[in-house]
């Protein structure tokens, strides 16, 4: 089942801002409908500066899952998966970048 992308661009960063003003963003881009439901989360870095690390929180309205990415290139993307918490079937999680460190 294909889900729409839910995008949140976080106003918070723990490591400064890119000179070009572009900030990393996160989206929930898909889900698997298996017994252990998983969400596919994408980190996008539209900046012309790479990231040595970035942290994404995926919120299920009371429960949060966290993803950490390393070495995200300038103008690049990374994808990861999280296992949904029990009882979250049918919920629409949101993803936000909570911190990042530029190279």
String of DSSP letters for 55-102:
EEEEE-SS-EEEEEEEEEPTTEEEEEEEEPPTT-TT---EEEEEEEEE
Candidates 2.60.40, 3.40.1710, 1.10.10, 1.10.287; correct CATH number of 6-102?
2.60.40
- Give dist(CA 40, CA 46) in Å, integer: 19
Which has more pLDDT, 16 or 61? Answer: 61
Give the mean pLDDT of the chain.
82
Asked whether residue 77 carries a pLDDT value surpassing 80, the answer given is yes
**pLDDT at residue number 7:** 38
92 pLDDT band (50/70/90 cuts)? confident
Asked whether residue 22 carries a pLDDT value surpassing 90, the answer given is no
């Amino acid at each position: 089942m294909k889900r729409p992308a839910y995008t949140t661009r976080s106003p918070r960063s723990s490591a400064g801002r890119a000179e070009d003003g572009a900030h990393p963003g996160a989206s929930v881009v898909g889900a698997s409908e298996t017994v252990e439901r998983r969400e596919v989360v994408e980190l996008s870095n539209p900046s012309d500066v790479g990231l040595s690390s970035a942290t994404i929180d995926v919120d299920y309205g009371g429960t949060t899952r966290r993803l950490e990415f390393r070495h995200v290139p300038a103008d690049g993307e990374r994808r990861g998966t999280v296992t949904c918490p029990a009882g979250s079937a049918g919920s629409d999680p949101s993803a936000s970048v909570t911190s990042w460190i530029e190279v």
